[in-house]
Amino acid sequence: MNIQDLVVHVPPHGDGPDHGVKLAFDLAKHQGAYVTALISEVRLSSLDNPSATSEADERLRQEFNERSRHQAQRLAHAVSAAAEAGGIRHEVVIEPAFSYQVGQVFADYLRVRALGIIGVNGALEGETRLMVETALFETGRPLLLIPPTSSTLGNDKVMVAWDATPAAVHAVTAAMPFLQAAREVVVAHVTDDKAFQRGRSGIELCHHLSRHGVQTQFAPVQRGQGNVADALLEAARAHDVDLLAMGAYAHSALRRLIFGSATRGIFERSLSLPILMAN
């Protein structure tokens, strides 16, 4: 079971492939996947500064947009050259967009790809957080978040964060190509967070995965007085895993997304390993 295609966000202000793009190429090489490298040609709109109405302001806006166009083209050449050097089947797409549209453009492409990849730096903020939220909660597709420390994806050991929610089920399904390729899989269950019925416990998930040829071990995790996300990240470090797969949960209230504690915690942390999330 391989990943057939994926889309990766290319930061528009870089000089070439960032850590997210490099990992996407590495993953594509091992999975035989087709990569869509998506570059947003960020444009200024008159809405970005409604008070800027003079001819000089308009000229500055046009100059910015022209620089953005040239930067996107230079970046596209660099990314394409890196893909060709690695023998990666790929396309590089430049999409003009205002800054507030970048997340939606990425989500549009992700809806018709098996996986999305975004390189992140530190806690999620601003446009990056908006893009991650849009991709996770408006597409039905899994998303792989890549910290700067990861430009290749080791696949010896994978951890699944299990809480028996539909989001966790979706994360397990999305992670199956990684789980089946891994040498070892750890199913982590935060035992002092939610009470489970026996039929949907982490141990039962281990049995399910073993029937798919996945070698698993069960790891009960205690969060104590801390955050679920911190408990999971600490367990991932303790088990020295290469990838953590988990569900992402949010519900809408007064037009705002209210996140589950683990999801919110991951968004607010500086990651040290790749995180595969699914809603």
Kindly report, as residue ranges, where domains of CATH 3.40.50.620 are found in the chain. Answer: 157-278
| 4 — pLDDT class (breaks 50, 70, 90) | very high
Write the class of the CATH domain 5-146.
alpha beta
Percent pLDDT > 70 in the chain is 91
Three-class secondary structure of residue 257 per DSSP: strand
Three-class secondary structure of residue 141 per DSSP: coil
In this prediction, residue 151 carries a pLDDT of: 83
Distance between CA atoms of residues 187 and 202, nearest Å: 6
53-67, 78-92, 114-128, range with the lowest pLDDT: 53-67
Q: Report the length, in residues, of the chain.
A: 279
Fold of 157-278: Rossmann fold (3.40.50)
Determine the residue type at 23. L
Percent pLDDT > 90 in the chain is 71
- Between CA 130 and CA 188, with CA 20 as vertex, the angle to 5 degrees is 80
Residue 196 pLDDT greater than 70, yes or no? no
Distance between CA atoms of residues 140 and 217, nearest Å: 28
Mean pLDDT of 140-153: 93
CB neighbour class for 85 (10 Å; exposed up to 12, middle 13-18, buried from 19): exposed
Distance between CA atoms of residues 22 and 17, nearest Å: 6
Distance between CA atoms of residues 249 and 166, nearest Å: 9
In this prediction, residue 279 carries a pLDDT of: 94
What would the pLDDT profile of 62-76 be if each residue is shown by its tens digit? 898 999 999 999 999
DSSP string for 86-114: TT--EEEEEEEEEGGGHHHHHHHHHTTSS
Residue 173 pLDDT greater than 90, yes or no? yes
**Tokens at residue 131, please?**
């893009």
* Cβ count near 117 (within 10 Å): 28
| 53 — pLDDT class (breaks 50, 70, 90) | low
What would the pLDDT profile of 103-118 be if each residue is shown by its tens digit? 999 999 999 999 999 9
Kindly report, as residue ranges, where domains of CATH 3.40.50.12370 are found in the chain. Answer: 5-146
20-29, 33-42, 170-179, 216-225, range with the lowest pLDDT: 216-225
Q: Which residue has the higher pLDDT, 198 or 178?
A: 178
Mean pLDDT of 267-278: 94
The average confidence (pLDDT) of the chain is 90
| Element of type H or E holding 24 | helix 19-31
Mean pLDDT of 149-154: 85
CB neighbour class for 82 (10 Å; exposed up to 12, middle 13-18, buried from 19): middle
Three-class secondary structure of residue 164 per DSSP: coil
Mean pLDDT of 142-147: 97
| 255 — pLDDT class (breaks 50, 70, 90) | very low
In this prediction, residue 254 carries a pLDDT of: 39
Q: How far is CA 51 from CA 100, 164, 177, 193, in A?
A: 19, 51, 51, 51
CB neighbour class for 36 (10 Å; exposed up to 12, middle 13-18, buried from 19): buried
In this prediction, residue 129 carries a pLDDT of: 92
